[in-house]
Amino acid sequence: MQLIKSDINIDFLGKQKIGFAFSLILIIVCIGSLIMHKGPNYGIDFVGGTLVQVKFSQTVSVSDIRNGLADLGLKDTSVQNFGQPQDNEYLIRTTSSDTMGNNLADRISKGVEKATGIAPSIRRVEMVGPQVGEDLKKSALLAIFYSLLFITIYISGRFELKWMLSGVTAGALMTAVYFLSIFNVSMPFLIGAALVVTLAIFWTLKLKYAMGAIVALVHDVFITVGIFSLLNLDFSLPIIAALLTIIGYSLNDTIIVFDRIRENVKGVESKQALPGVFNKSINETLSRTILTSTTTLIVLLALFFLGGEIIHNFAFAMIIGVLIGTYSSVFIASPVVLAAHNKG
């Protein structure tokens, strides 16, 4: 199935400055939001504490729920609506993870009933200790970083036959990050520094396709996290799963473009001809890219609107990732590879 004519000739590389400017604006806004909010709005999974989802048979006041929880001695409690207003469902969060032991659900139910006059139905209870939450945060960051490095090994091996060089480089970076993490170095700072060093090494070693892929993937992940921060949405373990899925999806899209670029670049010696070759490659894969993204988005939109509140944020992260991933394959990954070709 071909949605776009095979002879289409859109000058994507001629618009790369517009693409870079758009990405730069998005990144600056995301950085500002992350600084202002002091990082993503981490859920119970990462900060520890207790989350309880309750449902009432009729409308109740949030302040009455808070009063009932205060009488129970829960610390730093927050209450917010969950789902549609007419559902009368609320999420109760507290930093206390062991205040009430095994009778947590019963104690909350009785305390809230006393304050509101209506017995709630306990739909969900999640309890995570602060140390467990910190360990999960560390593991999540390492999982994303390691997945990016393993991807660079595959890209370098497949497109440039530099399996050993990329493998040794990635292995050294993984080892360094792992040992530094043992000494309680700030994990976000450590991963950020490691990514900068990785890009510098790849540029020096002329791992063109690997560098294009990792720049695009970091771009996609960072913007997705930044948008979650902007909208103050919960950043939980399912979102980490979404980010790893986004990495895989975006990589698949990027590989399709890279594969055609590699075929078309063979035998081209003039650097002046490269932008035209890259444009031709992107245009030749445009129909497949749009068709894949569209069908994926249809499924994700169905999950977003019909999948319920539990999967809502996961589906939203995936929608952002598919859109940004498709865009970055054309306007971020390909121009980076072109720049690396011109350098070489």
The pLDDT of residue 126 is: 80
Calpha distance 217→286 (Å, rounded):
19
Q: What is the model's pLDDT at position 96?
A: 63
pLDDT value at position 97? 58
d(CA 273, CA 268): 7
The two tokens of residue 147 are: 């997945």
Residue written as tokens 């473009």?
257
Give me the domains of the chain, ranges plus CATH numbers: 13-43+132-343 (1.20.1640.10), 49-128 (3.30.70.3400)
Per-residue model confidence (pLDDT) at position 102:
57
What residues does 114 pair with on adjacent strands? none
Q: What tokens does 91 get?
A: 């999420």
The pair of structure tokens assigned to 156 is 């370098």
Asked whether the beta carbons of 184 and 194 are under 8 A apart, the reply is no
Distance CA 143, CA 139 (A): 6
Distance of CA 96 to CAs 42, 233, 258, Å?
16, 21, 50
Q: Report residue 167 as tokens.
A: 């493998």
Cα–Cα nearest to 143, from 181, 105, 114 = 181
User: What span, in angstroms and rounded, lies between the C-alpha atoms of 319 and 291?
Assistant: 15
93 three-class SS: strand
Three-state DSSP at 275 gives: helix
Cβ–Cβ contacts within 10 Å for residue 326, how many? Answer: 22
Q: Which of 257, 253, 254 is nearest to 282 (CA)?
A: 257
How many whole angstroms separate alpha carbon 203 and alpha carbon 205? 6
Q: What is the pLDDT of residue 4?
A: 65
Question: Consecutive sets of 10 residues in the chain, 344 residues long: mean pLDDT of each?
Answer: 68 90 96 91 81 87 84 75 83 68 72 87 80 81 89 90 90 85 79 88 90 94 95 90 92 92 84 88 89 93 87 94 94 93 75
pTM for this entry: 0.86
Q: What is the DSSP letter of 234?
A: E
* pLDDT at 173 (0 to 100): 87
What is the distance between the alpha carbons of residues 116 and 311, in angstroms, rounded to a whole number?
29
Helices (H), the chain: 16-36, 44-47, 62-70, 104-116, 130-160, 163-182, 187-205, 208-230, 237-265, 274-306, 312-328, 334-343
Q: Which residue type occupies 263?
A: E
Read off the tokens for 256.
């399709």
| Neighbouring C-beta atoms of residue 21, cutoff 10 Å | 10
